[in-house]
Chains A and B, each alone.
Chain A
Amino acid sequence: MRGVEGTVGLARLALRRDRVRLPLWLVGVAGVTYGSGAAMGTTFPTQSAIDAYAASVASSPAVVAMSGPPIALDTLPGIVLNKIELVTVVGVCVMAALTVVRHSRAEEEAGRTELLRSGEVGRHAGGLAALLVAGGASVLLGLVVALGLVGAAVPGRSALLYGAGTAGLGVVVAAATLCLAQLFVHARAATGAALALVGVAYVLRAAGDVRGDALVWLSPVGWSQATHVLGAERWWPLLVCLGAAIALAWLAFRLSGVRDVGAGLVAPRPGAPVGGRLMSSAFGLAVRQQRGAVVAWAVGVLALAVAEGSLADVVQSLARDNPTLEKYLNATGQGSLVDAYLSTILLVLGLLTAAFAVSATARLRAEETSDRLEALLATGLSRSRWLFSGLAVVGLGAVLVLLLGGLGLGLSYAVATGDGGAVLRLPVEVLVYLPAVLALVALAVLVLGWRPSWGGVPWAALGLCFVLGWLGSLLGLPSWVLEVSPFGAAPLLPLQPMQWTGPVLTALVAVLLAGVGWLGLLRRDIR
């Protein structure tokens, strides 16, 4: 193939730049895999405990929708794989997408590709190098996940197949992301589109699995799960992943072959020659800068919520068909099956909104590192006004994303079950996570004020919230550890009754953190 000169050098450059980042991903995901596997042994000490779990919670639609088809759930390894599925899928997909964009479109947007391409570097070298690094990292991730599983008593062959499925998914996502990186001029837009694609793939698989139809085959996540680890143990779905990855990579290189360096495939439109009303305040500027992201996240979360809500009738019919299960769940204090399902979805909506809020807050720091903040603060704009204008937009955006998620869930749930009250009830209930979302934003403000170069801290905290919220009870951690997570401090509505202490305390901590961060910003140098 022509146009790939210099690929090796660029791949080495990418590895050099990612020498901390990628190992952290690998260690993080492998650690969660091994940790939850090891903890599972203490959670389910006897076969009878495993059987009870298999008979009750394991085959519920919420678990199927979130984790995948129920296979070998009457064994400890089966439960382990089922529990870690969401973490490994999200882990490998996000890692692959971020890595590809970071080394393709982000480089191009920054103008560095232009400099490199003036040397002996082919047209496709940058894309191919990004693909090789992201694909290689996915394979390594699959390998360390397999090792972690072997450590958690999963048979070697099954662990390897599971790791291979994870790696295959990562490679497909990397190739698809490279296609998207050709379409969009902005790295942020390309990342957003790639993550949205992962979300769509997850929802398609969830819907296909719950309904038990062929919808799963439209989703790369479905392909990797079609390996049926611990069940039929099929290796051929890996070929589907590989074939799709090759086809997508070919498409990406065709697309990059027909465009200019730095350009997208959508022609840029001219802007307004005169600033409109938004262009007269810091708040207006923040609205202008964030509105695209707010709309994208709101639409994505709304779509996810509608999809999950529409599965509620399946959940309800399952409860009708199996009154003893429902009675068992109620008796053991686990509430009704439908409530358990809804509370899981509401928690996911909360976590997604937090991801939006953290990424939106990170833009404040990006304004500074790009020197645009300097230009703003050289006008009559004060630091406080700049900060609070930005935070107001982040807060309003978060409320909008949360409410739309709750409304989407409520609407489609109401349509599916005929329970009209849910249309108003669920949007209110999802707000229980607003203090948790704001606490993460406040943490980002604290970092911005005192240690602006530690921008990764809020993201790490978000990852921790995700892991604790999803696996916390499973890891056998004491309850106070779980409640350290602002999400753990909120009651699981509608499964648990409302209690105010946790959310109110979280909100107070958020105000405190943001206040201290604000003072830091007032004191420090703007660099």
Chain B
Amino acid sequence: MTRVIEARGLVKTFGRTVALDGLDLHVAAGEVHGFLGPNGSGKSTTIRVLLGLLRPDAGQVRLLDGDPWRDAATLHRRLAYVPGDVSLWPNLSGGEVIDLLGRLRGGLDQGRRTDLLERFDLDPAKKCRSYSKGNRQKVALVAALASDVELLLLDEPTSGLDPLMEAVFEDCIRTASGAGRTVLLSSHILSEVEALCDRVSIIRAGRTVQSGTLSELRHLTRTRVVAETADPADSLAGVAGVANLRRHDGRVSFDVDTDHLDDALRHLVGLGVRSLVSHPPTLEELFLRQYGDVVPASNGGPG
């Protein structure tokens, strides 16, 4: 088995709202897969379908070589889930909830539990009622990460964590990935996805609009170049693939399609380069381009 998650043409409607509109998602074993999309684009709905909590109206879905609806409880022993908005039992302590969720999943690693509590700086004796959003999230994270599972389903797991804790989280995901676990990380924190993920799927309005490795996706977008040249750089405007050309104080900045980067740089060298800064496209730009521009319909489908 190489595909841990295999979803094709998922459709799910709630009344007249179309939550998923032919969504595709493919996650291979051992990869950390970023699942990107704005609020309401269907990320959580997809994860709930994968968990067998919702039944899709159309489409096929396989999870860990099983049917997520029919084999829900059996499959769940092999995965751990962290919801985006963690709701806990107010009268139980964090430690009790971690043990409850872990044992219902088939047990957890006591050493790792202790270690994670320390690293996330979480007091397990406090009642869940008194936890902040971030601390409730830590409870769910510790319960998930301390379990010996093949797959981690994480739905915006860091939305309540401070930057220090985000760093701890990223470290834990790298460790989990190193141990061979597959991770589906839904997020709109792009730097996190950029730092962690091997491949990403971008969805919008219930459809997959882009899917591939980060380098593949970068290929589709532009590199930003800022340069200082000896001669005026007006002629750059005529080079294919260059856009947003601006000049001030002898400096020039422009965006160039990755396919035409070579041409643009060759032209620049002819002008006498004194300094040069180039940014590879950040996921931010990629994201903005997906949602800021009109997305061509033919872009749909997996990469």
Contact = CB atoms under 8 A, between A and B. Distances in A.
A273 interface: yes
Interface in B66-121: 72-74, 76-77, 79-81, 83, 85-93, 95-101, 103-106
A273 B129 contact: no
B127 A381 contact: no
B95 to A, nearest CB: 4
Interface stretch (B51-59, B194-202, B211-219, B294-302): B51-59
Contacts of B92: 271, 279, 288
Given A274-B96, A374-B48, A525-B53, A281 B124 contact: no
**Which one of A371, A379, A525 has the highest number of Cβ atoms from chain B below 10 Å of its Cβ?**
A379
Interface string A355-382: 0000000000000001110111111111
A523 B72 CA distance: 13
B48 A272 contact: no
B126 A271 contact: yes
Interface residues of B, number: 43
Contacts of B106: 380
Interface of B: 48, 51-55, 72-74, 76-77, 79-81, 83, 85-93, 95-101, 103-106, 124-127, 129-130, 140, 153
The 10 closest A-B CB pairs, nearest first, are A271-B93, A275-B99, A379-B104, A382-B73, A378-B81, A526-B53, A273-B95, A380-B77, A275-B96, A280-B103
Given A375-B81, A378-B79, 18 more contacts: A271-B95, A273-B125, A275-B103, A279-B100, A281-B104, A282-B104, A285-B89, A288-B92, A289-B89, A289-B91, A370-B87, A374-B51, A375-B87, A378-B51, A385-B73, A525-B53, A525-B55, A526-B54
A374 B83 contact: yes
A301 to B, nearest CB: 23
A119 interface: no
30 contacts: A186-B90, A270-B125, A270-B127, A271-B125, A271-B127, A274-B96, A275-B98, A275-B99, A275-B103, A279-B96, A280-B99, A281-B103, A282-B104, A374-B48, A374-B51, A375-B81, A375-B101, A377-B51, A377-B76, A378-B53, A378-B80, A379-B101, A379-B105, A380-B77, A380-B104, A381-B76, A381-B104, A383-B72, A523-B55, A527-B54
B87 A372 contact: yes
A289 B97 CA distance: 13
A7 to B, nearest CB: 28
Contacts of B52: 377
A371 B76 contact: no
**Which one of B76, B86, B98, B106 has the highest number of Cβ atoms from chain A below 10 Å of its Cβ?**
B76
Interface in A380-395: 380-383, 385
A222 to B, nearest CB: 36
A276 interface: yes
A383 to B, nearest CB: 8
Contacts of B85: 371
Interface residues of A, number: 35
A297 to B, nearest CB: 17
Contacts of B103: 275, 279-281
Nearest to A263: B130
A385 B74 CA distance: 13
A45 interface: no
A420 B241 CA distance: 100
A268 B104 contact: no
Contact of B73 (A268, A289, A371, A380): A380
Interface string A231-262: 00000000000000000000000000000000
Contacts of B77: 379-380
